[in-house]
Structures are given as structure tokens and as C-alpha cells.
Amino acid sequence: MRMPVDAELELIKWHVIYPFLLDVLQDNMDITFNSNMRFRELFVCHMEMLMDKVSQEQVIVRKHLRTAGIKVFDAEWNKTEIRVGYLCR
């Protein structure tokens, strides 16, 4: 088994970050939709577009990880850190 190179570590990092980012965007979209803000529909529409782009990027990252033979598992997080296990080839 070999250690991943910097580019592969970057893929692992984004593989972990994208789900959190999608959760934050969804929460913000729900709050904005239920608010009395002016132009809230516009903000919600932009957040939906952003979520679509993040989801597309997430698919690309997963594809690259699969091609590189890297599996990510056991994500644990607390207020200060995120720990992830991964298997590289």
C-alpha cells in the first residue's frame, strides 16, 4: 500500500467537505425560503444552482477517487476537526 500524493489528498479533502457544504447550503436555503426577505426566491434560486454545481463537482471527485483506487471511510467530526480514514490502493 502506498501513500497518496498531494493531488490525491486534495481529492480526499473535497470528498469530505462537499457533503458538509451541501448541508449548510440546504439549511441556509430553508431559512431564506421561510423568511420575509425581499427577493428570497432569487436567493433560493441561486443557492439551488450552487448546490447543483457542488453536486456535479462531488461526482467528479468520486470518479477520480475511484479511478485512483482510493476509498474514504469512517468520517468523524467535532467542533474543531474532521478525521477520516482512507485506503489508497
In a domain, 36, yes or no: yes
Total number of domains in the chain: 1
In a domain, 1, yes or no: no
Full residue range of the structural domain in which residue 77 is found: 6-88
pLDDT (average), residues 69-83: 86
Angstrom distance (rounded) from CA 77 to CA 16: 10
| Mean pLDDT taken over the chain | 91
pLDDT at 1: 60
pLDDT (average), residues 50-71: 95
In a domain, 34, yes or no: yes
What share of the chain has pLDDT > 70, as a percent? 98
Angstrom distance (rounded) from CA 49 to CA 7: 27
Question: What pTM was computed for the model?
Answer: 0.83
